[in-house]
Amino acid sequence: MSRGLDGSLVIELGMATEKRLAEALAEALALPLVDLGRTLLVPGHVPRRCRLARAEDTAAVALSRRRALGVLGLLGAGGAGMVELIRSTAGPAPRPKVAVGTTRLVEQYAAGSRQLGEWWVPPGSGSGPLPTVVLVHGGYWRASYDRHLEDAVAADLAGAGHLVWNLEYAASDAPWPATLTDVAAGYDFLMRGRYAKRVDPARLAVVGHSAGGHLALFLASRGRLPAGAPGAGPHQAPALVIPQAPVAALALGSKEGLGGGAVDALLGGSPAKVPQRYAVADPVALLPSGVRSVLVHGTADDVVPMSQSTTYRDAAVAAGDNCRLGQVQGGHFEHLDPTSGAWAAVRAALTTLPP
């Protein structure tokens, strides 16, 4: 990997490039036809080697480093070899602006390498209960990303006086149902961890982005789970859940092949193959949740379609839940930027909690 003279990213895709990787890159980045050394990159055809470079080069396309990382990371195995290379250059989220005096503490909720979370404690907040936000990162449940996707918004929340628990969990390459049981265990740890006494249950919100939006809705729906299901059992329900561009309708996501088959990878198959898993993991199947929800989705999102949010919203309202959807300008990764309109919508929703 290198940079063009204009700062654009030059990526070398090797022999193992998969068809879906090139197709998704072309679609998500709105690429023109690209000359790849006398070969055109067009839907359905993938050269054995392709080079994406600056507009004056023979491979005529300029990629934003942040956008490239976001797309490649969400595509999974096809882009895994490049993700770590790009990560050192930039990420899909901006660098956090941490207020002076903010306390950060990583704490394990179990023994696994991804069974942990990070506390963000606002500066000068005394010792009493605080409005609390649990953050759940996205990435189509894959191991390419971790909780640090949420660092910028975690810093923003802590700077505004919120106690934050930024949750990590097992990726979908772990055996079913590790992703769900980790998220449930990590959420429950909130009430017994290092700063448990600072948590105010009446002002407890869960905010999740993309696949993390699915997990946030799953956490809100645990009261509907049958005994023995992943995540079932006594728990402190959140007062509010805010899914950002969520994968909120898993059966629909499976049918549409979102994320190159990411839903089927999480659940181990399609609804026809493992219906019992969809019954306890798909937020649409777990309605009504009984938890107030505010969905936020960008009108130009080309990673998770708006239909995911509208499908959930319509089903939730029909089931009697207090659910609304805010459509905001922008795409998929603006939700991770504290200066964006998408994040302003989240901050506005948090103000509806008790003072």
Arithmetic mean of pLDDT over the chain = 82
pLDDT computed for residue 310 by the predictor: 98
pTM for the complete prediction?
Answer: 0.78
Residue 292: pLDDT band by 50, 70, 90 thresholds?
very high
Same structural domain, 57 and 15: yes
Furthest C-alpha separation in the chain:
66
- DSSP for 96-152? P-PPTT-EEEEEESSSSTT-EEEEEE-TT--SS-EEEEEEE--STT-TT--GGGGHH
Instruction: Look at the block and give the residue holding tokens 């969809």.
Output: 278
What is the domain extent for residue 56?
A: 2-87
Q: Say yes or no to pLDDT of 4 above 90.
A: no
Instruction: Look at the block and give the residue holding tokens 């990382």.
Output: 69
Tens of pLDDT, residues 37-86? 333 333 333 333 333 332 333 232 334 444 444 544 544 434 444 433 33
In angstroms, the CA 324 to CA 314 distance is 9
In angstroms, the CA 308 to CA 282 distance is 12
Same structural domain, 272 and 310: yes
Residue 95 lies in a domain: no
Same structural domain, 129 and 277: yes
pLDDT computed for residue 91 by the predictor: 57
**CB–CB of 345/243 below 8 Å?**
no
Residue 96 lies in a domain: no
CATH of the domain at 289: 3.40.50.1820
In angstroms, the CA 319 to CA 321 distance is 6
Same structural domain, 206 and 313: yes
